[in-house]
Structure formats: structure tokens, C-alpha cells
């Protein structure tokens, strides 16, 4: 075998080996990623059933035990964080993500209705925010609005924030949108029953809350 042929064969074998290593590495990480997403989906399904059961239990809870619903709100927030992670990993249009988002949106609507029931039965004044956003590329300020609401919820844990993808194909969500008569540009907010549109700054958003509403929410301890 000539030197040229030997070098060519060596280069081919090296390229083949390198290609095999790259293929194995990519395949390995893809398998890990799919396994991780599958685990998230399984956990969300379990949490969904757990939260749904808690809704039924809390619906019959006496007024003196209303504070326990704060735990439910915290679990909903954790569930939302896992959903956001899955969306970042698979994309907002992924079939799994869409299915999980629908489950989560239904739970949010149920929690919102349960909060209203408690308010009527126990004469409480919870501060609620319905936030409608879009992932369709037609809402330049939605990300900033989402970060601002996350900050407010972290600062005031008793603030009830419900986030909905306006374009999600879900009957219950479409009914909620119709009932609230949303008709302006996104992002849209329904704060304590009052609708407003657009986002500029955190300070402007805070001004949309009823006077003293945030002050009555418990600030997070540092």
C-alpha cells in the first residue's frame, strides 16, 4: 500500500470514528432530553390529579381554613415553572407542551373560580390578575409583562396571578375570553375585575392595581 493510500485510509477511519462519536453523543443527549421531558410530563400529570383533588376538597372548606388554599397556589406556581421548562426545551408549538398547557390552563381557571367562591362565601377581598399573552410573535411586550408579574407575585405571594396563552385552542379559555370581553391588543390584564391593555413599566403596572391592594398582600420575607 502506498503512503498516499495509507494516509487516505487513516484519514477516512479517523473521520468515521469522529462521526460515530458525534452521532453517539448527540443520540445520548437526545435520549436524556426525551427522558427528562417524559419525567416532567409524568410529574405534571400526577400533580394535575393531585391539584384537581385539592380543588374538590377546598370547595367544601370552612372559612376559617381558607388560608390553606395558599398551599394550592404555591403548587400551581411550581407546576407552571415545570411547564415553562418543558416549553423552553421542546418549543411552544410542541404537541406535548400544548397538551400540558391546556391542563394547566384548566387548573388555573378552576383555581380562579374557587378563589371567587371563597371571596363570596367568606367576605374576603383577594387580589387577582388575569394575564393574557401571545407566543405568536405579535406581542412585543409580553415577555416583559410576564417578568413584571413574576416579580410582583414573588414580592407579594398572596397575589393571585393567572397567565393564559390567548391563542390556545381550549374551549374553557375561549369562554373566559368571551365573558371578559377582551378586544384590545396584547398583553391584556384583568386586575381585580378591571381590564387594561399594553405594558410599559413595572411602575405603570402597579398603578393599575386598586389603591392599597398590593399593600394588603403579604410581602415576601427576606
pLDDT tens by residue, 14-55? 777 776 676 656 555 556 666 666 666 676 677 667 767 777
Domain boundary among 124, 152, 169: 124
Predicted confidence (pLDDT) at residue 7 exceeds the cutoff of 70: no
pLDDT of residue 68: 46
pLDDT computed for residue 49 by the predictor = 74
pLDDT score, position 97:
80
Average pLDDT for the chain: 78
Claim to verify: residue 115 and residue 154 sit in the same structural domain: no
Please determine, for residue 65, whether its predicted confidence score (pLDDT) is greater than 70: no
Residues 112 and 94 in one domain: yes
Name beta bridge partners: 196: 189
Residue 217 reports pLDDT greater than 80? no
User: In this structure, what CATH number is given to the domain that contains residue 211?
Assistant: 3.40.30.10
Quote the domain boundaries for residue 158: 125-222
Cell of residue 148, nine digits: 413584571
DSSP 210: P
For residue 119, the model assigns a pLDDT of 81
- Domain end, chosen from 74, 100, 124, is at 124
Cell 409524568, residue located = 42
CA-CA distances (angstroms) from residue 37 to 42, 50, 51, 84, 180? 9, 20, 20, 12, 34
| pLDDT for position 184 | 79
Quick one: pLDDT at residue 198? 94
Both 56 and 87 in a single domain? yes
State the Cα–Cα distance between residues 153 and 210, nearest whole angstrom.
16
Q: At residue 43, what are phi and psi to the nearest 5 degrees?
A: -65, -40
Domain count for the chain: 2
Judgement on whether residues 27 and 64 belong to the same structural domain of the protein: yes
The H or E element spanning position 105 is helix 95-122
Q: What is the pLDDT of residues 183-207, one digit of tens each?
A: 878 999 999 889 999 999 999 999 9
In this prediction, residue 220 carries a pLDDT of 47
For 96-131, the pLDDT digits (tens) are 788 888 888 888 888 888 888 878 877 778 889 999
Q: Which residues contact 149 (CB under 8 A, 6 or more apart)?
A: 129, 131, 161, 163, 205
Cβ atoms of 215 and 161 closer than 8 Å? no
Q: 76, 99, 124: which is the final residue of a domain?
A: 124
Amino acid at each position: 500500500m502506498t503512503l498516499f493510500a495509507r494516509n487516505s485510509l487513516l484519514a477516512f477511519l479517523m473521520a468515521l470514528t469522529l462521526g460515530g462519536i458525534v452521532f453517539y453523543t448527540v443520540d445520548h443527549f437526545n435520549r436524556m432530553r426525551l427522558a427528562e421531558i417524559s419525567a416532567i410530563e409524568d410529574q405534571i400529570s400526577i400533580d394535575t390529579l393531585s391539584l384537581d383533588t385539592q380543588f374538590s376538597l377546598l370547595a367544601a372548606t370552612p372559612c376559617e381554613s381558607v388560608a390553606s388554599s395558599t398551599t394550592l397556589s404555591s403548587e400551581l406556581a411550581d407546576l407552571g415553572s415545570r411547564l415553562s421548562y418543558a416549553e423552553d426545551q421542546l418549543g411552544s408549538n410542541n404537541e406535548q407542551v400544548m397538551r400540558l398547557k391546556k391542563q394547566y390552563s384548566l387548573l388555573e381557571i378552576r383555581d380562579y373560580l374557587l378563589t371567587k367562591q371563597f371571596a363570596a362565601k367568606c367576605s374576603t377581598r383577594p387580589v387577582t390578575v388575569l394575564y393574557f399573552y401571545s407566543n405568536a410573535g405579535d406581542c412585543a411586550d409580553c415577555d416583559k409583562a410576564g417578568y413584571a408579574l413574576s416579580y410582583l407575585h414573588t414580592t407579594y405571594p398572596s397575589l393571585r396571578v393567572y397567565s393564559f396563552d390567548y391563542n390556545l385552542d381550549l374551549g374553557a379559555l375561549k369562554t373566559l375570553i368571551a365573558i371578559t370581553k377582551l378586544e384590545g391588543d396584547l398583553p391584556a390584564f384583568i386586575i381585580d375585575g378591571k381590564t387594561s391593555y399594553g405594558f410599559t413599566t413595572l411602575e405603570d403596572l402597579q398603578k393599575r392595581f386598586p389603591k392599597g391592594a398590593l399593600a394588603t398582600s403579604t410581602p415576601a420575607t427576606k
